[in-house]
A and B are shown apart, each in its own frame.
Chain A
Amino acid sequence: MNFAKGVDLTLHEGTPILSFEGVTVAFKSPGHSADRPVLSRLKLTVDEGEFICLLGPSGCGKTTLLNCVAGFQPYEGNIYYNGARIEKPGKERGVVFQEYALFPWFTVEQNVEFGLRVNGVQASERKERARHYIEMVGLAGFEKHYPGKLSGGMKQRAGLARVLANEPGILLMDEPFAALDEQTREKLQAELLGLWEQQRKTCLFVTHSIQEAVYLADRVIVLQPNPARIALDLRIDLPRLRNRHDERLLQFQSRISDALREGERPYGEHLSVITA
């Protein structure tokens, strides 16, 4: 069953906002006639307001999973967001990219206003809302700057403001802090939690850092590659902001790294464990 170790069912009081049913994605692999499956009949349910970290080694399919939810990646099976099958990108599913993906030809303000502009929001309300979210991410005073002039941390703040201004139902974040230096990353992690406490938006956060996952998430989902399987679905019910050196946090970390190490076994051996 899908009720993996660590999931306390009594905590499942939320309503599912996102559900994956038998999701399969296969990529063409060079030199092989058969397609390489990245995701294979994946099942997962995400509740409204949950902060979920998808954790796994490079190439395990976590970004592919996120891209399916974002609507960038065609897939077989079904992913339902609020009851509707995801077919294409939509503004109710906001995406924060690792490479920021800010429009370099627009100022910070114009970037943040972009979603509102293309959705026909009046100029005055647009300005107001952009100002609000720019302030919220701590970029007040940088409205007229072009992204090229900003540091990585500031770019990602702008990227976050751009998505939040659109007021999506779910935030999809693809290793948003991976390109930042350690100090900036930790600062932005804490600030992201601050914003999340205010808004309580559902978050799907892809990362390859165990520390980041246990610091941020309500629930850490560990993926194993070839094709992606859920190796561990772990609920982290510690209050925030968490102390990065908290003993309990470290225990969660070691459980996750154990689950990750499982996957380092030869493929065949693992298969026999599953079928046994």
Chain B
Amino acid sequence: MENTYPSLPHKGVRPSLRKRLLPIGRRAWTRLLIKLSGLAVLLLAWGLITGLGYVAPSQLPSPIATLQTMSHMLGDGSLVVHALSSLKRVFLGFAVAFAIALPLGLMLGSSRLLRDAINPIVELLRPIPPLAFISLAILWLGIDEWSKISIIIYGAFFPLLLNITGGISQVDPVHIRAAQSLGAGKLHIFWHVTLRAAIPNMMIGIRSGMGMAFICLVGSELIAANEGLGFLIQEGRYMFKTDQVLVGMITIGIIGYFINLLLTTLEKLLLRWK
């Protein structure tokens, strides 16, 4: 009859050993396992198809061969060099696009007149895929670094601009009124109300802009590049190194995954109130 005794008041119950070692619950582990098993099935299918000789290794190398190429390229540092030069382009392009889209979006978002004036231009340019600008980029900027980056800038720009504009223009007028009647001036309202209210939309713009930057990356590296993940994929095709093509693709996938993870974490941090 132990449990009829009044329990002793302790300062804090020590969590079980398992919980202390693994700070996430059993449920989360099960989910992680399920997620990983999906990946495992894909790898297994890939391994079976290649292992049983249904496709030639020149068409699709086995996962093990691909992994070997990857570890080899990691070992000699070439993969890191390619990845870094691609990342540099993506981030530089994204940063420039953001630097232009932010003030422009703030302006367009707060003025209906400006929106009406600029909208037709935006709507005409937006359906043109960034890769269609490669020829112009080469004609105008040559084949150096900035012609590649300009494609990325263009690609990231519209998702950023449209979402920033949308966020700013959709601020609930009742929040502006509340702020006004509490004595807030224009600057305070802009900083504490308009900008804060626009953050959810801005984050959508940042995420899709970053996505576009990666999409444009491979295309932009078609322009006389001699390093970069897109270049790796191109070169792999010319030289019939299908494993190198796959390594380039997988690396882009992994980098994209982690950048998205970073952005979702940032979003959660900024939007704790949601």
Give A contacts to B, CB under 8 Å. Answer: 70-72, 88-91, 93-95, 97, 99, 101-107, 114-115, 118-119, 146-148, 162-163, 166, 172
Chain A residues within an 8 Å CB radius of B197: 105
- What 0/1 pattern do residues 166 to 206 of B give for CB contact below 8 A with A? 00000010110111111111001000110011010000000
22 intermolecular pairs with C-beta atoms under 8 Å apart: A71-B181, A89-B181, A90-B183, A95-B177, A101-B172, A101-B174, A101-B178, A102-B178, A103-B179, A103-B192, A104-B274, A105-B196, A105-B199, A105-B271, A114-B179, A114-B182, A115-B184, A118-B185, A118-B192, A148-B274, A163-B182, A172-B181
Chain A residues within an 8 Å CB radius of B177: 70, 72, 89, 95, 97, 101
Chain A residues within an 8 Å CB radius of B192: 103, 114, 118
How many inter-chain residue pairs (CB < 8 Å) link A and B?
Answer: 72
| Residue from A89, A90, A105 whose CB has the most chain B CB atoms within 10 Å | A105
Please report the C-alpha to C-alpha distance between residue A90 and residue B192 in the assembled complex, in whole angstroms.
17
Closest residue of B by beta carbon distance from A159: B178
Chain A residues within an 8 Å CB radius of B273: 104-107, 146-148
Closest residue of A by beta carbon distance from B177: A72
Judge whether B272 is part of the interface by a CB distance below 8 angstroms. yes
Chain B residues within an 8 Å CB radius of A99: 174
Interchain CB contact under 8 A, A91 and B175 = no
Please report the C-alpha to C-alpha distance between residue A172 and residue B182 in the assembled complex, in whole angstroms.
12
- What 0/1 pattern do residues 23 to 35 of B give for CB contact below 8 A with A? 0000000000000
User: What is the CB-to-nearest-CB distance from B154 to chain A, in angstroms, rounded to a whole number?
Assistant: 32
Q: Given B183, B185, B196, B274, which contacts A103 in the complex, CB threshold below 8 Å?
A: B196
User: What is the CB-to-nearest-CB distance from B149 to chain A, in angstroms, rounded to a whole number?
Assistant: 34
Chain B residues within an 8 Å CB radius of A166: 182-183
Chain A residues within an 8 Å CB radius of B180: 71-72, 88-89
Closest A-B pairs by Cβ, 9 of them: A91-B183, A115-B182, A89-B180, A101-B178, A118-B184, A146-B273, A89-B181, A118-B188, A95-B181
Closest residue of B by beta carbon distance from A149: B273
Known: A103-B196, A105-B199, A148-B274. A118 touches B174 (CB 8 A): no
Please report the C-alpha to C-alpha distance between residue A150 and residue B272 in the assembled complex, in whole angstroms.
15
Chain B residues within an 8 Å CB radius of A107: 273
Q: Given A91, A102, A103, A147, which contacts B181 in the complex, CB threshold below 8 Å?
A: A91
Closest residue of A by beta carbon distance from B184: A118
User: What is the CB-to-nearest-CB distance from A206 to chain B, in angstroms, rounded to a whole number?
Assistant: 15
User: What is the CB-to-nearest-CB distance from A126 to chain B, in angstroms, rounded to a whole number?
Assistant: 13
User: What is the CB-to-nearest-CB distance from B155 to chain A, in angstroms, rounded to a whole number?
Assistant: 30
Please report the C-alpha to C-alpha distance between residue A99 and residue B177 in the assembled complex, in whole angstroms.
12
Which chain B residues numbered 12 to 26 have a C-beta less than 8 Å away from chain A? none
Given A90-B181, A105-B197, A114-B179, 6 new contacts (CB under 8 A): A72-B180, A95-B178, A105-B273, A114-B182, A118-B183, A118-B192
